[in-house]
Copies of this chain bind each other. A is one copy, B any other.
């Protein structure tokens, strides 16, 4: 039997996980695996870029889980600097262009679309000026670090003057707050401009406000309700600040942290099905819907939110890796599925930990759910144990049923990962009353005798019991 051919577009988490998993299951005589990556790096942690920029990670290569050479040594024909420019679905082939500009068609039996996401860049005056940086790819990170080095050497900072160097971060989501911390670590004065009325719009306003207060305490200026109108440039066309409707913010460096959108131009032009988020639509096995031998995963697909029942775009490395494993298992003749997400995310800014899972109040209302919300304050360890830190937990539960709908956590060290308790409970469809009996790990260095998540569950159970027992 002739070997089948698996072609992978995109050499990062999903693509190379799929390739590796398939290679574990099929030898090269059974399955040829070719992967095309348009950039210079494979299998790297984009999530690590803020920590590299901030200096906590000093070695760029530490962010690279597996080099192109390592992939090749495992029987994966990974071709760097090669971009897919056209997809011919009926012909089962993809046209690629290599670094020299040479193009050719590559046939496939199985195609894996792992094209990732591209940063949102609003069409503002000056948005493409020198000194305006995205932080989506390792190349982006390298460009930003090179620019920062150059600034230090030339000492010609634009807006900083005697006050020291200034960084303006546009957007106060996860990437925005992580980049704010990175510049604080580098000694910059940092301003974060956010068009919403709170940082971290992934939290309810009351919890987001805690993040806002904490960022102020870290010396990060956060301007809310700030509608950016353009990038200010100097006579040489370099960014020297950011303009909003109300003010101008001088900057030596500008970072865009406005989120990303699925990179699905290739798929769209080929007529593959895209959802409302712009991401590819797949089935549970991560097949593109309606296409037996085309697979997709990672930042270019949309996924089912198991709590809301809606599809959404969730660009996170952990999902991308899971998708790759599922795709590789299925192509390799094994079986796996990705049922969906529950909306978990965790982040930190300096020593403030921020986490969420499930639905926010607004998201729950949007899909027709009625709910009760409770907020509790507790500590991460027993109150008397050294190093105990504050934690606030918000819990949202459905009325009548008492089913858990979401949890948000803002606190200090050891707060954030407690969100996993709620994430598993969401996967299991637990009620908050059931959660009150959860047998969680307890010892004074690890938790109060009632874990903060259990305290929230007790309060939420009482709040929803009123709806059940009353009236």
Contact = CB atoms under 8 A, between A and B. Distances in A.
A349 to B, nearest CB: 10
A338 interface: yes
Nearest to A387: B56
Contact of A441 (B63, B334, B345): B345
Which 5 residue pairs across A and B have the least CB separation, nearest first? Answer: A428-B428, A346-B441, A62-B384, A318-B442, A424-B424
A318 B420 contact: no
Given A48-B384, A346-B446, 18 more contacts: A13-B449, A45-B384, A48-B382, A48-B444, A51-B445, A57-B385, A318-B442, A322-B436, A325-B436, A336-B433, A337-B437, A338-B437, A346-B441, A357-B439, A420-B451, A421-B424, A427-B430, A427-B437
Given A56-B385, A417-B447, A458-B325, A442 B51 contact: no
B445 A348 contact: yes
A2 interface: no
A321 interface: yes
Interface residues of A, number: 72
A434 interface: yes
Contacts of A399: none
A315 B285 CA distance: 45
Given A318-B449, A318-B450, A441 B424 contact: no
Contacts of A353: 446
A344 interface: yes
Contacts of A386: 56-57
A63 B342 contact: no
Interface in A411-456: 414, 416-421, 423-428, 430, 433-434, 436-447, 449-451
Contacts of A426: 439
Nearest to A59: B384
Nearest to A384: B62
A64 to B, nearest CB: 9
Given A13-B449, A384-B48, A439-B357, A424 B428 contact: yes
Contacts of A343: 439
A445 B441 CA distance: 22
A339 interface: yes
A347 interface: yes
A63 B448 CA distance: 11
Interface string A38-80: 0000000101100100001101001100000000000000000
Contacts of A338: 437
Contacts of A63: 384
Contacts of A417: 414, 417-418, 441, 446-447
